[in-house]
């Protein structure tokens, strides 16, 4: 599973999932470029990862900046082997009209979320395709969610300040269809797959955690560490004959 000499571009670099992805690829010998909207957080994360990481702050809502960032990574490394899109509006994102009851969710928040969660994935893949194809074993991984597959159980959130905005699930479901579409048209040069995690523990209220655990066969929430094996598999030659696949890492949440 040695990935020495290979390179990767990861979005949402200051986030915990992107950190896990970057750590995984670096442990396998790859070099990584990370992007994040917050320049300081992006730079700090790259420094924490060591000399195999470089920071390229970027606003994924800006098409030109997104395309330019892909090209910067290619220029810096001289190639691009892996693209991982982790950045997303999530339930805790602080945007007006977002983490609200459905009737108060706004079109502006919906549009902003789809722009980062889904449209940016399209832009990144389009811009990176030639370089990934040139690598001859290029891999794209989109981070989707169980809520791109199934509807939310809103009972989990009763008595908490947590939310599950409609645009979150819609965008993650869109990523799964984009995965299938790109897998069909990028083959055989580039593989395109998705990972759909279950809920990841991030100090949520105890009442939510207990309800979530009760609904999960593994009786616990996920951690970022749980995603590392899936990332290593889909990024490396271990999955050389796998494309258009959604690898579900949810402790059995969607099994019943």
Residue 20 covered by a domain: yes
Q: What percent of the chain has pLDDT over 70?
A: 100
Q: Rounded mean pLDDT of the chain?
A: 97
Residue 116: domain span? 7-255
Residue 181: CATH number of its domain: 3.40.50.720
Question: Given this model, what pLDDT does residue 61 score?
Answer: 97
pLDDT at site 136: 87
Assess if residue 2 is contained within a domain: no
Count of the separate structural domains present in the chain: 1
Q: Among candidates 215, 195, 84, 108, which has minimal Cα distance to 155?
A: 215
Is residue 1 in a domain? no
| Residue whose structure tokens are 């790109």 | 182
Q: Which residues of the chain have pLDDT under 70?
A: none
CA dist 33 → 47, 141, 169, 183, 231 (Å): 11, 15, 27, 23, 16
């Amino acid at each position: 599973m040695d990935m020495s000499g290979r390179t990767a571009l990861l979005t949402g670099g200051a986030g915990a999932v992107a950190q896990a992805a970057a750590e995984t690829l670096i442990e396998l010998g790859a070099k990584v470029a990370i992007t994040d909207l917050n320049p300081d957080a992006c730079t700090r994360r790259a420094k924490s990862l060591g000399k195999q990481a470089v920071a390229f702050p970027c606003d994924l809502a800006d098409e030109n900046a997104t395309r330019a960032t892909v090209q910067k990574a290619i220029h810096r490394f001289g190639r691009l082997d892996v693209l991982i899109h982790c950045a997303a509006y999530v339930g805790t994102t602080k945007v007006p009209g977002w983490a609200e009851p459905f009737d108060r969710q706004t079109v502006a928040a919906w549009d902003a979320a789809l722009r980062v969660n889904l449209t940016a994935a399209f832009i990144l893949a389009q811009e990176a395709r030639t370089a990934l194809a040139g690598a001859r074993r290029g891999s794209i991984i989109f981070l989707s969610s169980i809520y791109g597959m199934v509807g939310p159980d809103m009972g989990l959130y009763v008595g908490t300040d947590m939310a599950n905005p409609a645009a979150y699930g819609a965008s993650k479901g869109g990523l799964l269809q984009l995965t299938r579409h790109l897998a069909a048209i990028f083959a055989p040069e580039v593989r395109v797959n998705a990972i759909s995690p279950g809920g990841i523990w991030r100090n949520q209220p105890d009442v939510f955690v207990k309800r979530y655990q009760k609904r999960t066969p593994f009786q616990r929430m996920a951690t970022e560490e749980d995603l590392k094996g899936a990332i290593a598999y889909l990024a490396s030659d271990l999955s050389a004959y796998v494309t258009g696949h959604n690898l579900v890492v949810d402790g059995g949440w969607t099994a019943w």
